[in-house]
Amino acid sequence: MGRATALLEPLNSGAGGADGSLLLSSDEINRPENNGLQEIRTKALQLLDKHSRHGVTAADLVQFMHNVATVTCPLGPRLLTLIGRRDRREANPMGLIPSNNATDATFLIELFQNKTFTARDLAALLGAHTVAQQLFVDPSKAGQTLDSTPGVWDMNFYREMALPEPLSGIFRLPSDEALSLADGTSSRFEAFTDVTFGQTVWNREYSAAYVRLSLLGVNNINRLTDCTKVLPGAVTSFSLTSSSPSPSSSAAPLSSSESGYMVFCVLLCIFILVI
- Residues forming the annotated binding site for heme b? 129
**Integer Cα distance of 17 and 252 in angstroms:** 28
Report the CATH superfamily, name and number, of domain 21-231+261-269. Answer: Peroxidase, domain 2 (1.10.420.10)
Q: Which residues are registered as beta bridge partners of 83? A: 225
- Residues forming the annotated binding site for Ca(2+)? 17, 19, 21, 130, 147, 149, 154
Sequential DSSP letters for 163-229: SSSPPTTB---HHHHHHHHSTTTHHHHHHTT-TTTHHHHHHHHHHHHHHHHTTTT-S-GGG-EE-GG
- Residues forming the annotated binding site? 17, 19, 21, 129-130, 147, 149, 154
Residue-level pLDDT at 182 = 98
**Hey, where are the domains in the chain?**
21-231+261-269
Residue-level pLDDT at 257 = 45
Below-50 pLDDT ranges, the chain: 1-2, 5, 9, 11-15, 242-275
